[in-house]
Amino acid sequence: LAHDLRNPLTAVSIALETLEAGLTREGQTPPLSPNLVAQLFKQARTQARSIDKMIAGLLQVARGTAAELDIQPQKVELEKLCHEVLMQLSDRARAKSLKIETDIPRDLPRTYADQERIRQVLINLLDNAIKYTPANGKIRISALHRTTQKIQFSVCDTGPGIPEENRDRIFEDRFRLERDKAKDGYGIGLCLCQRIIRAHYGQIWVDCPPTGGSCFHFTLPVYPN
């Protein structure tokens, strides 16, 4: 739960603290502009809705009701969504001096997906990549138009990788690698990712290149013209 909720909770806290500081300090120079106040309220509301949806999804995972995930597909610009998530996580990546590379074609078609659910998937995969990539390492984010109906998105890192015998099991509910059992976490993040992607009739999998690290891939449907 902490794994998924950390970033939106931080965003809500920052927005509210900024509003509180701007509204309680008379004579502040410069004061908060009406436009900035509106943006901060919007940010807090959006992230609060995201938190509510995450909790609902996590409860559904606990009940094992993958088929009942509330998916509300719409036209989604995956590149824009990815950059928003990267901005959320930028402080953590910067603290480890990680190099972030993106390779997303400008002509990548829009996807037909639930934006907030896919945001959860991106946050989870990128948060894991940052967590497991050592300082001064590299994370590569790429996308390709795999077929006329599918887009493939990939998040690769230079971390320790996933043992071959566990590459299917890491998507099981509450499964954790032996090396991670002493660390924070509940082993439900990747399980939720898989259920979200399957609810979109997509696939999610992991492989480990010969050079090391791990690459998580998932597919989503192209928005119909």
Per-residue pLDDT tens digits for 10-36: 888 888 888 887 766 655 556 778 888
CB 221 within 8 A of CB 153: no
Tokens 């900035």 correspond to 36
Q: What are 117-173's pLDDT values in tens digits?
A: 999 899 889 988 998 899 999 999 999 987 789 999 999 999 888 877 777 777 776
Q: What are 31-53's pLDDT values in tens digits?
A: 778 888 888 888 888 788 777 76
Read off the pLDDT of each residue in 72-83 and give the average, rounded to a whole number: 92
Provide the pLDDT for residue 100. 95
What is the chain's mean pLDDT, rounded? 82
User: The tokens of 54 are what?
Assistant: 């995450």
Choose between 64 and 140: higher pLDDT: 140
CB 221 within 8 A of CB 113: yes
Query: Rg of the chain's alpha carbons, rounded to an integer?
Result: 19
| pLDDT bucket at 58, cuts 50 / 70 / 90 | low
| pLDDT bucket at 182, cuts 50 / 70 / 90 | very low
Provide the pLDDT for residue 136. 94
Q: Is the pLDDT of residue 90 over 70?
A: yes
Tokens 């940052």 correspond to 130
In angstroms, the CA 187 to CA 218 distance is 19
pTM, to two decimals: 0.72
Read off the pLDDT of each residue in 53-82 and give the average, rounded to a whole number: 75
Q: What are 159-176's pLDDT values in tens digits?
A: 888 877 777 777 776 656
CB neighbours of residue 80 within 10 Å: 11
Read off the pLDDT of each residue in 179-197 and give the average, rounded to a whole number: 70
User: The tokens of 111 are what?
Assistant: 């996807």
